[in-house]
Chain A
Amino acid sequence: MVPHAKSGFWRGLAPYLLSSILLISAYMHVGAVKVAASSLAVIGIPIHFVASLPSMTLAAMQGRLITTDQLRRQFEFLREQNLILRARLQRFEFLENENNRLRELLQATPQAVEKVTLAQLVAVNPDLGSLTVLVNKGSADDVYIGQPVIDAGGIVGQVTKSSLFTSKISLITEESQAVPVQVVRSGVRAILYGGGKNRTLRVMYLDRNVDIQPDDVLVSSGLGEIYPPGYPVAVVTAVERNVAESFMNIEAKPMSHLGRDREVLLLWPTQLKSSDHGSDAIVEEKSE
């Protein structure tokens, strides 16, 4: 018996292919379908919830299994850390005040981050070939496309898609991503491109005699209107000057943990909060 004898290609497969194609084209061309798809994503909540259970129980167990001694040591460590950070913060506040005053003198608008929200990862690399993570905050929490995301180390990436309760973050290492950066030491501006593979970034189109060297820290320059200025992005790992070429080959490695932490921070910069940024708003003309 041939299982598909009674339902061949035309009845067994073609209708499904046709409806998929209709769905895909509707998704691309009709805005309402995008909205519907983003609200439909709520059916993923139980799945994401169950998927987060192992790490949640692990975290809970770690809390239970810890001894008083370890707790005390951890507490001591955190208290010290807190003191150091508070001391630094005082200095930072002083600098911020000074900076704002200088900006007022120059009549420039102060730049600040208006709001920060903690989001938890619910999936890593969920789809084909892209370096993305899903987090548990969505358009219901005012997440917008093009929103900058950081973690304890530095810039992680930007939001490229959001549904009601989840959103997708494209990491800066993704090939389609670019971050306008500035070298802290020399003030040189450059564009940092994602390398595609895990944890490699490239600085492209920098002239041979520009001042950049290994271990230079790159911070966001705020020029692409996506990322607010001043956040650490990457450390230069290798600079290769080739006399035959007019540009240098520069490799860098990201300072953020790129989805290795369970939590990331979503930023709402004051100046950039309009929600009309496209996902690929950083389009740089590549002058080869």
Chain B
Amino acid sequence: MIQVDSAPRRPWIPFLTLFAALILLVLPMQELPGGFVPDWVSLVLIYWALAFPVRMGVPIAWVTGLIVDIITLGIPGAHAFTKSVIVYITGSLALRIRAFPIWQQSVVVFLLLSLELASLVIISGLTGEAITGMHRWTAVVVGALVWPLIYHVLRRSRHSSNLRGS
């Protein structure tokens, strides 16, 4: 159900933020140990799936995941799979999660990111690609901790773009 009060001024804002997340993903940050950088793309996808469960649904998550796989020279389809799953879950429970206080949302984000990491580990294991080290779990914790920040930044961008509805 789309209820438009006034025409959205910048309907491309969600895609711009996704593009920014993709850039952050490949940004060479030499000084930071890799294990602490959260999966920005998943966080941004979760936010937009909460805000617009129908419009920013599984298809967009799938395509974004595929782009992630391709630009990082990963297994094509792996991130597409995991991101579709977490966005589907987020979208289905969006109304409930939106009513949560922010720290409970962080817990949900933690669970979603853990699910994604677990499925990625399983997929890499099945395909025989090297997976080493468990230090990516710290990235999941960091992702949950920065969720309030992501939430506020993206909500401001959403309000400035005048996007409403589902």
Contacts and interface: CB of A to CB of B under 8 A. Distances in A.
A156 interface: no
A56 B37 CA distance: 21
A214 interface: no
A43 B132 contact: no
Interface in A240-273: 259-262
Interface stretch (A83-91, A161-169, A181-189): A161-169
A268 B73 CA distance: 22
Contact of A23 (B24, B80, B85, B117): B80
A175 B75 contact: no
A51 B23 contact: yes
Given A17-B85, A20-B77, A131-B132, A124 B30 contact: yes
A226 to B, nearest CB: 15
A16 B80 contact: yes
Interface string A111-133: 00000000001111111111101
Contact of A260 (B30, B71, B84): B30
A12 B71 contact: no
Given A41-B71, A166-B73, A198-B33, A47 B26 contact: yes
Given A12-B88, A129-B131, A40 B70 contact: yes
Interface string B107-130: 000000000010011011001101
Contacts of A134: 26, 72-73
A16 B27 contact: no
Interface string A48-60: 1011101100000
Contact of B53 (A3, A21, A44, A261): A3
A170 B133 CA distance: 14
Interface residues of B, number: 58
B39 to A, nearest CB: 9
Contacts of A127: 72, 74
Given A23-B77, A37-B76, A131 B23 contact: no
B121 A128 contact: yes
B13 interface: no
A123 B77 contact: no
Interface of B: 1, 19, 22-31, 33-35, 37, 53-54, 57-59, 62, 65-67, 70-78, 80-81, 84-85, 88, 91-92, 94-95, 117, 120-121, 123-124, 127-128, 130-136, 166
Interface of A: 1-4, 7, 9, 12-13, 16-17, 19-24, 27-28, 33, 37-38, 40-41, 43-44, 47-48, 50-52, 54-55, 121-131, 133-134, 161-163, 166-168, 170, 174-176, 194, 196-198, 259-262, 280
Given A38-B73, A44-B70, 11 more contacts: A3-B91, A16-B81, A19-B80, A20-B65, A20-B77, A41-B71, A47-B22, A125-B35, A128-B136, A131-B133, A175-B133
- List the 4 shortest-distance A-B pairs measured between CB atoms, nearest first: A125-B34, A44-B71, A23-B77, A20-B81
